[in-house]
Amino acid sequence: MKKDLKNLVIAIDGPAGAGKTTVAKALASRLEIPYFSTGAMYRALALKCLRSGKNPENKDDAEQIAKSAKLSLKYANGKQSVILDGEDVTDMLYSDQISVGASQISVHKYVREKMVDIQRQVANQQNVIMDGRDIGSVVLPMAKYKFYLDADVNVRAKRRYDELLSKGSQISFEEVLQDMKERDFRDKNRDISPLIVCDDAVVIDSTNLSVEQVVDEFISKIK
């Protein structure tokens, strides 16, 4: 399905594990435009922070990391890559520790401003599907289509748990659930650009839907 591709900007926000990136990928393939998962950028900063022995919750540490990080997003052959200081770190970003660190480092003003700048530059150059927490509200408020993808927290935690298990993680379901609840709280209650449902967003609940059903729901709204 190829749409009129002029100025096609699609913003997808929602809590962790709702399926945003999976849907963004599938839509990107159906619409033949790139997707960018902005959480990967905060994850890359968390990786740099933890590698440097710094604390993502500490404002000065977080700023120093964000200032010194050379971060870029690439999209090729249906896959997004994150380049951090010249290194492709894409496959190092999805542990539970990095998920928590990304949520912690993302509360800081300087960090957010720098990431938003890069994200806007990426979206200015092309049609995109971008997912995150503040895409419809802050990064791309003029997006033609805005979605808020949600799901029950137990279902989201189970999806993330299965994903971590398949990668050989030893973490328990209870830990994943607890981390996800804390992450939800932090992402929704931080002072700067918290996760909100925009007035003009279409809300889709993926709790009882398969990936295909969710993608079909999205496609039906993109006219």
Provide the binding-site residues for ligand DC, judged by CB under 6 A: 16, 38-39, 42-43, 99, 102-103, 106, 132-135, 183, 187
C-alpha to C-alpha distance for 145 and 158, rounded to whole angstroms: 29
Please say which residue, 5 or 67, places its beta carbon nearer to ligand DC: 67
Q: What is the dihedral of CA 115, 80, 183, 63, to 10 degrees?
A: -30
Please say which residue, 32 or 201, places its beta carbon nearer to ligand DC: 201
Sequence-separated (6 or more) residues with CB below 8 Å from residue 120:
139, 140
- In the sheet that holds 71-76, the strands lie side by side as 71-76, 79-84, 87-88
- What is the C-alpha end-to-end distance of the chain, expressed in Å? 11
Please say which residue, 73 or 102, places its beta carbon nearer to ligand DC: 102
Query: What is the smallest separation between the CB atom of 223 and ligand DC, expressed in angstroms?
Result: 26
Nearest-CB residue for ligand DC: 39
Query: What is the smallest separation between the CB atom of 72 and ligand DC, expressed in angstroms?
Result: 16
Query: What is the smallest separation between the CB atom of 4 and ligand DC, expressed in angstroms?
Result: 27
Q: Cα–chain-centroid distance for residue 139?
A: 12
Please say which residue, 6 or 178, places its beta carbon nearer to ligand DC: 178
